[in-house]
């Protein structure tokens, strides 16, 4: 059974940093691309960043480019999102998501909540 468990969310002040982690299990992690997707409570889904199985290529949404860094450790079956220079508009539930062999997202974690506020 595919499991994706996010951690690292919390309350942080504007301008500060936070690192999210996603522990993956139930599939061969280093075979698949992974994504981070976020959702402001009550709003729609917003794609944040994606990383291939080999860590290259990588892509970011314009809204986070230059501030967020996605990475993975295939030996640890883990995905990460380093978030710097956080803004109030980054407040959201952050989902870790697995890509299928076809490229679509096929599994989602339960999310970790990030709140950026002074």
Partner 1 sequence: EIVLTQSPGTLSLSPGETATLSCRASQSVSSTYLAWCQQKPGQAPRLLIYGASRRATGIPDRFSGSGSGTDFTLTISRLEPEDFAVYYCQQYGSSPPRVTFGQGTRLEIK
Rounded to a whole number of angstroms, the minimum distance from the CB of residue 14 to partner 1 is 26
Shortest distance (Å) from residue 106 CB to partner 1: 5
Q: How far is the CB of 8 from partner 1 (least distance, A)?
A: 17
| Angstrom distance (rounded) from CA 100 to CA 115 | 30
Question: Nearer Cβ to partner 1, position 12 or 33?
Answer: 33
Cα dist from 101 to 31, 32, 48, 79, 104, whole Å: 8, 7, 20, 18, 8
* Of 44 and 66, CB closest to partner 1: 44
Distances (CA, A) of 59 to 36, 50, 56, 62, 115: 11, 5, 9, 9, 24
Instruction: Give the nearer residue to partner 1 in terms of CB position, either 13 or 57.
Output: 57
Binding site for partner 1 (CB under 8 A): 33-35, 37, 44-47, 50-52, 57-59, 95, 99-100, 102-111
Helices and strands counted in the chain (H then E)? 0, 11
For the CB of residue 52, give the shortest distance to partner 1 in the complex, in Å.
6
């Amino acid at each position: 059974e595919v499991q994706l468990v996010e951690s690292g969310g919390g309350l942080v002040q504007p301008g500060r940093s936070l690192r999210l982690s996603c522990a993956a299990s139930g599939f061969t992690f280093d075979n698949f691309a992974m994504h981070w997707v976020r959702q402001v409570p009550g709003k729609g889904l917003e794609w944040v960043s994606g990383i291939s199985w080999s860590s290259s290529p990588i892509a970011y949404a314009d809204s986070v480019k230059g501030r967020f860094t996605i990475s993975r450790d295939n030996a640890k079956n883990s995905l990460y999102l380093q978030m710097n220079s956080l803004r109030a508009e980054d407040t959201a539930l952050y989902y870790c998501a697995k890509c299928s062999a076809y490229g679509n997202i096929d599994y989602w974690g339960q999310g970790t909540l990030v709140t950026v506020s002074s």
